[in-house]
């Protein structure tokens, strides 16, 4: 066994890594004979479960049908959403304090997103 490395300049936890690596180098060539135990365990394991052959084509067909359904439903849904958004936005009064609050909120969200994206962990 190697002696414990304690260097006060290393961050906490790094001395453990150094000690484990040094110990691993010392015992790298050691071999523990298991007298065939691993081979017996591996041969006793059941065969892996296999999926039916029809599953992959069936999933492809189902995903294709879902894509076609979404493609047909999407244009109508997008038009409905656009109408509702225009109705709500058009009914709101526009004022200088409201616009100022909106600009300040957008600036705060942009700064927060930039700080989150540029942080260094």
pLDDT by residue for the chain (121 residues), tens only, comes to: 444 555 556 566 688 888 888 888 888 778 778 888 999 999 999 988 888 899 999 999 999 999 999 888 888 888 888 899 889 888 888 889 988 998 999 999 999 999 999 987 7
> Mapping DSSP to helix (H, G, I), strand (E, B) and coil, where does residue 45 land?
coil
Q: Specify the length of the chain in residues.
A: 121
For residue 95, give the nearest of 87, 103, 84, 86 by alpha carbon. 103
Count CB neighbours of 10 within 10 A.
13
Q: What residue spans of 1-121 are helical by DSSP H?
A: 14-26, 37-44, 55-91, 96-118
pTM tops 0.75, yes or no: no
Closest CA to 69 of 57, 58, 77, 81: 77
Say if CB 15 and CB 4 are below 8 A apart: yes
């Amino acid at each position: 066994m190697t002696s414990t490395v304690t260097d006060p300049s290393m961050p906490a936890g790094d001395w453990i890594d150094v000690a484990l690596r040094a110990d691993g180098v010392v015992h790298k060539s050691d071999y523990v004979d298991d007298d065939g135990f691993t081979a017996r365990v591996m041969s006793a394991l059941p065969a892996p479960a296999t999926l039916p052959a029809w599953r992959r084509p069936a999933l492809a067909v189902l995903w294709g049908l879902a894509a076609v359904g979404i493609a047909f439903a999407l244009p109508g849904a997008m038009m409905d959403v656009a109408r509702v958004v225009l109705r709500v936005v058009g009914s709101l009064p526009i004022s200088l304090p409201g616009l100022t609050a909106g600009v300040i909120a957008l600036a705060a969200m942009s700064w927060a997103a930039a700080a989150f994206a540029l942080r260094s962990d």
